[in-house]
A = this chain, B = another copy of it.
Amino acid sequence: MIAEHSQTEMPEIPKAEILCVGTELLLGEITNTNAQYLAQQLAHLGIPHYVQTVVGDNIRRIHELLATIIPRCQLLLVTGGLGPTPDDLTHEALARYFETPLVEYPDLWDDICRKYRQRGITASPSNRKQALLPQGSQVLTNRSGSAAGIIWSPRPGFTVMTFPGVPSEMQQMWQDVAVPYIYQQGWVQTILVSQVLRHWGIPESLLAERIGTLFESANPTVAPYAGQGEVRIRVTARAPNREAAQTLLQPMVAQIQAIGGEDYFGSDEDTLASVVGSLLRQRGHTLAVAESCTGGLLGQLITGIPGSSSYFLGGVLAYDNQVKVKVLGVSPEILDSCGAVSEETAIAMAEGVKNLLGSDWGLSITGIAGPGGGSPEKPVGLVWIGLASPQGVWAAKHRFNGQRGRESVRYFSAQTALDWLRRTLIRQERS
């Protein structure tokens, strides 16, 4: 029973909360990236946290919130409100809540004066406030700025850590001091390891139904996220170390990959463009694009991948019909009889750019991105995608949601074109 014994000796993992102080957050002037950063860090270290709160620079409201938050948690991370101005009130509110005096920390005051001198400034009386900390708290040193934080356990089983609102200073203090402290306390007993499985071309609800009861798995957990046409499934395992987590993770990842089939295109940082790039590179094939309504977005996604020059030759932005005719060789008769947004034009553009640039593959997009230019027969959102391959040339009609706006139609067009090329490359391999 050694294992059990050693487990009972482990310190209890605290439940954490995050409190961000700053009126600028309430006015929406800045995005709360501090909460996101600390949330990621807590998740990784296996420290649970269930609530984040934002409050302005008002001592009564900070105090009221502390009264709500502190009973719910054993570790409170506070960002903001450590500056030299009268509306920086975090330490004052904490001291008042725990009925503890603020006292001057002489070493900290020396350090603040030294930092100001280095910048050629004399520390002002208002900076003296930054050297006042709740009695009994430990200084959480700020390497670059003047705002020090604290690590303070005002009563058994509760610890508060404070950080300045400036993200770079907060992150440095978190890594330098807070993380080692958390390990020292024995609070890091398991870590989280995640893999995100990315899908294109399947609605979230359909994929979720197929995954079904796997969503109920406790470790690893399985959770869906959708947005912008992509469905992501995150599989997250908790274990004492990375290897054990991977061992838990991999069978579940394999199961969900099998369910996703061809709709699954990659994991984590993979994008449709990066996956297409890998497939082309593996085959030693080259690609050229002909874009009308996307106006460069397809090329931009492809060339966003470092090293894309090994398979991407370039393309033609055939925005005006004359460019389709003169540069890509689309026949004026096709444009007259079928229109610029048609199967025939998409095919002629894909073949045209393949021939012009001498690539193995040609990918074309012609459509109506809106807001103007639509008609009953050819509404906003109608897009033809053409694909010229070493084996032949095809075109496919798509109807994207024009209501979502021009950028959305363009984005879906470019991603769908990449996805088509991806599936075609995979199927060719198989056949």
Residues of A within 8 A of B (CB): 23-33, 35-43, 49-56, 58, 61, 65, 68, 83-87, 116, 118-119, 121, 123-124, 126-127, 143-144, 166, 168, 203-206, 208-209, 215, 223-227, 234, 236, 289, 291, 293-304, 306-309, 312-320, 322-323, 326-327, 356-358, 370-372, 399, 401, 403-404, 406-408, 410
Contact = CB atoms under 8 A, between A and B. Distances in A.
Contacts of A303: 293-296, 317, 319, 410
A207 to B, nearest CB: 10
A89 to B, nearest CB: 13
B56 A205 contact: no
Contact of A49 (B26, B85, B302): B26
A319 B309 contact: yes
A404 B126 CA distance: 24
Given A26-B50, A296-B291, A317-B299, A33 B36 contact: no
> By CB atoms of chain B within 10 A, which of A35, A399, A403 has the most?
A35
A321 B23 CA distance: 48
Nearest 9 interchain pairs by C-beta:
A295-B303, A296-B299, A28-B40, A296-B296, A28-B39, A296-B300, A52-B54, A314-B323, A315-B317
A374 to B, nearest CB: 12
B143 A403 contact: yes
A404 B115 CA distance: 13
Contact of A205 (B42, B127, B299): B127
Contacts of A30: 36
B294 A300 contact: yes
A223 B23 contact: yes
Secondary structure type dominating chain A contacts = mixed
Contacts of A295: 296, 299-300, 302-304, 308, 312
A302 B297 CA distance: 11
A267 to B, nearest CB: 15
Contacts of A312: 295, 319-320
A226 B87 CA distance: 13
Given A51-B53, A223-B87, A403-B144, A314 B317 contact: yes
A227 B166 contact: yes
A323 B61 CA distance: 59
A312 B309 CA distance: 26
A306 B206 contact: no
A304 to B, nearest CB: 7
A175 to B, nearest CB: 13
A179 to B, nearest CB: 15
Nearest to A51: B55
Contacts of A306: 370-372, 406
A41 to B, nearest CB: 7
A297 B414 CA distance: 13
B205 A126 contact: yes
Given A299-B317, A317-B296, A318-B314, A28 B38 contact: yes
Nearest to A196: B29
A84 B224 CA distance: 11
A268 B317 CA distance: 29
Nearest to A370: B306
B39 A50 contact: no
Nearest to A407: B304
A101 B8 CA distance: 44
> By CB atoms of chain B within 10 A, which of A313, A401, A407 has the most?
A313
A204 B83 contact: yes
Nearest to A32: B32
B126 A209 contact: yes
A331 B255 CA distance: 55
B52 A208 contact: no
Contact of A209 (B27, B124, B323, B407): B124
B372 A121 contact: no
Nearest to A24: B225
B56 A50 contact: yes
A389 B327 CA distance: 21
Given A29-B223, A295-B296, A314-B316, 17 more contacts: A24-B225, A26-B39, A26-B43, A26-B52, A51-B55, A53-B53, A53-B54, A84-B205, A85-B215, A126-B209, A291-B299, A296-B296, A296-B297, A300-B300, A306-B370, A313-B319, A320-B357
